[in-house]
């Protein structure tokens, strides 16, 4: 904290990860200390911060800050999304980049960890303003990325539209038609099932976790927060697997829909009209709309936080326990505070940590990179089946790792240790770099 003050989210994730890998570190403590493994892991290989000037529709020049943190390339090129949101700062990007190292390791695919973004807020901006910002952002970023070096993707505020503008500018600057970004449109290198991957993967993972505990999603009730890319496809897959999802939210309010969220309507409002949950409620008779936050007070068997970091607090965790919830599985990155996670685990709730549960997005991004390299497209079912296998393998890795350290069902420990072991072995083999 002394060296990197003012980065609370980064310290929070360091704390969580380093505490839960203690059991694995103890076994090799002397060697790890000598090689400063933990110090190297916590220090990004490279941090890039840059000015992003652009012109708004009134002709006024606006200035934002851009970031790319290239955290760890031990197991492959840096890989991780770009977030455009007013709350973005270096601490947020470092927390996300650090998490990404372990998540990418868990997928078993050759991808290192990185993350980037800007404090630019795409909300309420015209398409031309978003394009102007994206082009300016890429005017600097292009020097630092490449299909074999660093491959960004989307995250909060960066969807198909933004990835398209970023890709167009990269191509113009470099003359390279290469898989330098993932989450691209289907007409220019995007992979089928990438849009669905994080939400679908979350449900494949959650179903495996339930199965290992003699349960399934069939006929269960689920609560979901958020209404963005992850939330929409989590709701869709939960319903396909036989659950009823009764909530969704945005940063202004939330909806309780006891008949089950109408996914077609939700997609129309969020993906086509770029509208709000209040617009959904206005069009759906069975839905109640509430201002503010409150999703976790609704009783459910499975709770799926899919909006943003620290959105599920200790008070929410108490409500979840009171409601006899079976499982909490994280679609967003670090949505559960540390004390809430501990409370849920101490009270016997099955807890699927983000770096495992939401790894489906980056896994399919890696499959997009493979398709781009061989200049072929795979079918939706091929990609979806690979995603299923990857999520099943991730759960099994967590489960066996937790058992190996005599912490059965502690999937947080399983995820951190399994992710850590692969990265550290690669780092050690490559010497002091
Ligand atoms: P989107 O921008 O598509 O959606 C984000 C959703 O979360 C929106 O409903 C948004 O509401 C809500 N939200 C954002 N910030 C806040 C806030 N401060 N308070 C309350 N609600 C908020 O992003 P994604 O769905 O892509 O990402 C959601 C989460 O999943 C993030 O944590 C991201 O890092 C993580 N993730 C995403 C992956 C992906 O493939 N997209 C992969 C792995 C993780 P509003 O519209 O009002 O802002």
Of the candidates 179, 208, 237, which is a domain's last residue?
Answer: 179
Cα–Cα distance list, 199 to 84, 123, 236, 281, 305 (Å): 20, 22, 8, 22, 11
> Sorting pLDDT into bands at 50, 70 and 90, what band is 335?
very high
Is residue 244 domain-resident?
Answer: yes
Cβ of residue 122 lying under 6 Å from some atom of ligand 1 = no
Convert the pLDDT of each residue in 112-163 to its tens digit: 999 999 999 999 999 999 999 999 999 999 999 999 999 999 999 999 999 9
Say whether 333 counts as a known binding-site residue. Answer: no
In angstroms, the CA 419 to CA 141 distance is 28
Confidence (pLDDT) at 71 = 98
pTM over 0.95: yes
Q: Which domain holds residue 285?
A: 195-352
Ligand 1, atom 37, lies closest to the CA of 155
**pLDDT band per the 50, 70, 90 thresholds, residue 108:** very high
Alpha helices in 35-76 (DSSP H): 37-42
pLDDT 10s digits, 360-396 = 999 999 999 999 999 999 999 999 999 999 999 999 9
Task: Tell whether 163 and 234 lie within a shared domain.
Answer: no
388 is annotated as contributing to ligand binding: no
Q: Are residues 22 and 156 in the same domain?
A: yes
Residues 21 and 156 in one domain: yes
- Determine how β-strand 253-256 pairs with β-strand 288-291: antiparallel
Question: What is the chain's mean pLDDT, rounded?
Answer: 97
**CATH number for position 232:** 3.40.50.720
Q: Is 251 in the pocket of ligand 1 (CB under 6 A)?
A: yes
Residues 371/186, Cβ–Cβ less than 8 Å: no
Instruction: Tell me if 360 CB under 6 Å of ligand 1.
Output: no
Residue 307 Cα, ligand 1 centroid: separation in angstroms? 4
Assess if residue 187 is contained within a domain: no
CATH number for 74: 3.40.50.10860
Q: Are residues 208 and 288 in the same domain?
A: yes
Q: Which residues are catalytic?
A: 115
- Rounded to two decimals, the ipTM of the complex is 0.98
Average pLDDT value for residue range 294-316: 97
Q: Are residues 255 and 323 in the same domain?
A: yes
Domains of the chain: total: 2
226 and 299 share a domain?
A: yes
Pocket test for ligand 1, best of 9, 229, 275, 360 (most atoms within 8 A of CB): 229
- Are 219 and 330 within one domain? yes
Q: Are residues 174 and 266 in the same domain?
A: no
Does residue 2 surpass a pLDDT of 80? Answer: no
pLDDT at 337 over 90: yes
> Same domain, yes or no, for 244 and 315?
yes
Atom of ligand 1 nearest to the CA of 154: 41
Claim to verify: residue 161 and residue 274 sit in the same structural domain: no
Q: 288 by DSSP, 3-state: which?
A: strand
Is 87 contained in some domain? yes
Q: What is the pLDDT of residues 32-79, one digit of tens each?
A: 999 999 999 999 999 999 999 999 999 999 999 999 999 999 999 999
Q: Which of 352, 369, 402 is the last residue of a domain?
A: 352
Examine the fold and report which residue of 303, 326, 352 is the final residue of a domain before the chain moves on. 352
């Amino acid at each position: 904290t002394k060296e990197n003050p003012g980065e609370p989210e980064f310290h929070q994730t360091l704390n969580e990860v380093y505490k839960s890998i203690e059991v694995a570190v103890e076994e090799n403590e002397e060697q790890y200390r000598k090689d400063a493994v933990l110090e190297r892991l916590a220090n990004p290989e490279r941090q890039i911060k840059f000015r992003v000037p652009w012109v708004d529709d009134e002709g006024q020049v606006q200035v934002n800050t851009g970031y790319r943190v290239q955290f760890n390339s031990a197991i492959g090129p840096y890989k991780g999304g770009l977030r455009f949101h007013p709350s973005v700062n270096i601490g947020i990007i470092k927390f996300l980049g650090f998490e990404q190292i372990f998540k990418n390791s868990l997928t078993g695919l050759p991808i290192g960890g990185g993350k980037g973004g800007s404090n630019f807020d795409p909300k309420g901006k015209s398409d031309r303003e978003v394009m102007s910002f994206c082009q300016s952002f890429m005017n600097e970023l292009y020097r630092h990325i490449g299909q074999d070096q660093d491959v960004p993707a989307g995250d909060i505020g960066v969807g198909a539209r933004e990835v398209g503008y970023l890709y167009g500018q990269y191509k113009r600057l470099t003359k390279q038609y290469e898989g330098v970004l993932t989450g691209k449109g289907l007409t220019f290198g995007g992979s089928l099932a990438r849009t669905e991957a994080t939400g679908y993967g979350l449900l494949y993972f959650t179903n495996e976790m339930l199965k290992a505990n003699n349960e399934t999603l069939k006929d269960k009730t689920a609560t979901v927060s958020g209404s963005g890319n992850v939330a929409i496809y989590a709701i869709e897959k939960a319903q396909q697997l036989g659950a009823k999802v009764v909530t969704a939210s945005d940063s202004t309010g939330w909806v309780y829909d006891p008949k089950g969220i109408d996914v077609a309507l939700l997609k129309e409002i969020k993906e086509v009209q770029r509208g709000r949950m209040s617009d959904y409620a206005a069009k759906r008779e069975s839905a109640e709309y509430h201002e503010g936050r409150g999703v976790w007070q609704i009783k459910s068997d499975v709770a799926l936080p899919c909006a943003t970091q620290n959105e599920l607090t200790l008070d929410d965790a108490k409500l979840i326990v009171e409601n006899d919830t079976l499982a909490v599985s994280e679609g967003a990155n670090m949505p559960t505070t540390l004390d809430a996670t501990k409370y849920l685990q101490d009270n016997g709730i099955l807890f699927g940590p983000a770096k495992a549960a939401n790894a489906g997005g980056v896994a399919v991004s890696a499959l997009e990179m493979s398709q781009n390299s061989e200049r072929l497209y795979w079918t939706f079912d091929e990609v979806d089946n690979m995603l299923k296998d990857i999520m099943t393998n991730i759960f099994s890795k967590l489960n066996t790792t937790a058992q190996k350290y005599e912490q059965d069902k502690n999937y947080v420990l399983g995820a951190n240790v399994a992710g850590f072991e692969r990265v550290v072995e690669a780092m050690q083999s490559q010497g002091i770099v």
